[in-house]
Amino acid sequence: MASRHALVVGGGIGGLAAAIGLHRVGWQVTVLERASELTAIGAGISLWPNAQRALAELGVNARIAPQSGGGLVDWRGRRLASWDADAFVRSHGLPLGAIHRAKLIEALRSALPAESLKTGVEVTAAEPSGIVRCDDGELEADLIVAADGINSPIRQQLFPAARVAYSGGAAFRGIAKLPLSPSLSTTWAAGTEIGILPLPDDEVYWWVCEARPAGIGHEDNRAYLREKYGRWHEPIGQLIDATPEILRHDLQHLATPLPSYVRGKIALLGDSAHAMPPFLGQGGCQALEDAVVLAEHAGKSTVEAALRGYDTERRPRTQKVTKASMRAGASGPLLRNPAAVALRAAFTRLLPSAVTTRIGASVSRWEPPKLTPVPPRTR
């Protein structure tokens, strides 16, 4: 079969992974990214075993830190539940992983031929017939992958009724360098969750998620966090102090489940198709799964059949994970009622660690379909 050409709109985790998958199964790919270079914010990302398997199937070599133990604690650091890494591997198949976002983007970028990446190109429209309009002209392809994020202009054009909504909280995030690497921990209090995930090279990714109204800014994120959480258990105060840049974002999700992820020759992928709140840490993981599944179908079928297969496989799963993320938020950081929070703590203390480490396993046990790589010279 003559090599077919895909235009991938967006050079985030989803777009780069989709381009790698398609390239691997013999497609010519061009990634169009509006930013002038491929970068990522200064934060980490947790990669569940499903995402690690997707990366392996794509042939991407990323240095992911396996999490080796820790627990769920209250604001004073008193243990609510232990997190048993061996039990986690038994239930999920692999350890929970974490990585600096910039290093993940770099690993994805380096798995693609440099000439397939076009930065500084803003896509203004895409047509189901296979035409992409950019700020400087028009391109045509056999397949268009809209991996243009939660505010996807292509989704807005194809599904104008779909709405992005506030998820009920804001997240502060940062990466600190500490001399002593702490272990993984999640801290629960009323309307607050604080997460700590060690990364390679003594770096630590941390986040604070607060239930609160949308749109509250702070002149100084560090001063705000230090004042509010500086006296919580260690190393929270140390992390706040040792972080060069602290980010704050209001959390949002796609509140309208789409009736389809495809239109003509266009496939929506990642946050463009199913932006979910981050309470399960699965948004990026699902984008990586999307990429492998799309490539598998595109490697063996006509575009029409491939997109039908992709939509049938990915829409039910990702919409189910989105709902699970919302439930995790409601019983996690968004739970504010003090009586309900006390009840949650009492109940959590009673759970054996074999039960707590099984949470999320139904999602993270996912196995990728096998891709059949096409050697470059036969393309």
CA angle 283, 19, 130 (to 5 degrees): 105
214 vs 305, beta carbon nearer ligand FAD: 214
**Judged by CB under 6 A, which stretch of 80-88, 144-152, 180-188, 351-359 contacts ligand FAD?**
144-152
Instruction: Report the nearest approach of ligand FAD to the CB of residue 343 (Å).
Output: 27
282 interacts with ligand FAD by CB under 6 A: yes
32 interacts with ligand FAD by CB under 6 A: yes
286 vs 354, beta carbon nearer ligand FAD: 286
Query: Which residue in 22, 58, 107, 147 binds ligand FAD (CB under 6 A)?
Result: 147
204 interacts with ligand FAD by CB under 6 A: no
246 interacts with ligand FAD by CB under 6 A: no
Q: How far apart are CA 230 and CA 223, in angstroms?
A: 9
Query: Which residue in 49, 71, 95, 284 binds ligand FAD (CB under 6 A)?
Result: 284
Query: Which residue in 5, 28, 34, 157 binds ligand FAD (CB under 6 A)?
Result: 34
Q: At what angle do helices 13-24 and 283-300 cross, to 10 degrees?
A: 20
Instruction: Report the nearest approach of ligand FAD to the CB of residue 357 (Å).
Output: 18
Instruction: Report the nearest approach of ligand FAD to the CB of residue 252 (Å).
Output: 8
171 vs 176, beta carbon nearer ligand FAD: 171
203 interacts with ligand FAD by CB under 6 A: no
133 vs 336, beta carbon nearer ligand FAD: 133
**Judged by CB under 6 A, which stretch of 225-233, 271-279, 294-302, 337-345 contacts ligand FAD?**
271-279
The amino acid at residue 4 is R
Query: Which residue in 10, 191, 235, 329 binds ligand FAD (CB under 6 A)?
Result: 10
* Interface positions with ligand FAD (CB under 6 A): 9-15, 32-35, 45-46, 122-123, 147-149, 153, 171, 173, 249, 251, 270-272, 278, 281-285, 287
